[in-house]
Structure 1
Amino acid sequence: MSGSISPSEISRLQTALRRLLGSEKLTINPAPRAGMSIELAADGEVIGTIHRDDEDGDVSYAVNIVVLEEDLPAAK
C-alpha cells in the first residue's frame, strides 16, 4: 500500500468513518512523518491505523483496528 493522505482526505475520511461506525468520538491523527501510517483514535485513544492504497488509479483505505484482550469484558 502506498500514498500519503492529504488534510482534505483526512477530514473526508473521518466524516465517513464516524457515519459508518456510528461514533462522533472517532478522530484521525495525521502521520507524524512522511511514509508513516495515520492513526485512528476513539475518544483520544489510538485504536488502529489507516493506510491509503492508490494502485491502478483506484483509491481505497484500509483500516486496521487493534483490540487488546485486556480491554474485553470478563468472560461469563
Structure 2
Amino acid sequence: MKPEEIRKLDAYFKRTFQNPRLEVKARPRKEDSAELYIGDEFLGLVYKDEDDGDYNFSMAILDIDL
C-alpha cells in the first residue's frame, strides 16, 4: 500500500476505535496489504480490493487466546 493510504487507514482505526495506540504499518515485501497493531501486538491485516477500491480487515482469533 502507498504511504498515503497507510496514513489514512491509521487515522481511521484510531478514530473509529478511539485508541491512539492502534498503528497501521507497511508489510515487508508485500504491497497489497498492511498490518494493524496495538502497541507491539499484531491484530490483523488490511487488504485493498483493487477492483472497487474498498479495504477489508482480517483478524484471526486463535483458540489459545480465548
What is the percentage of aligned positions where both structures have the same residue? 29
Q: How many residues were matched structurally?
A: 66
Contact 1:40 1:50 in 2 (8 A): yes
Show the counterpart of 2:54: 60
Q: Secondary structure at the match of 1:18?
A: helix
Aligned-residue RMSD, C-alpha: 1.6
Q: Which 5+ residue runs of structure 2 have no aligned equivalent?
A: none
Would you identify which runs of 4 or more consecutive aligned residues in structure 1 move more than 4 Å?
Answer: none
5+ residue gaps, structure 1 = none
Q: After TM superposition, list the pairs within 5 Å mapping 1:1-76 onto structure 2.
A: 5-35=1-31, 37-55=33-51, 58-72=52-66
Q: How far off is 1:35 after superposition?
A: 4.4
> Is the Cα–Cα contact under 8 Å of residues 32 and 48 in structure 2 kept in the other structure?
no
For CA contacts below 8 A with separation 6 or more, give which structure has more relative contact order: 1
When normalised by structure 2's length, the TM-score is 0.82
Query: Partners of 2:12 and 2:64 in 1: how far apart?
Result: 29
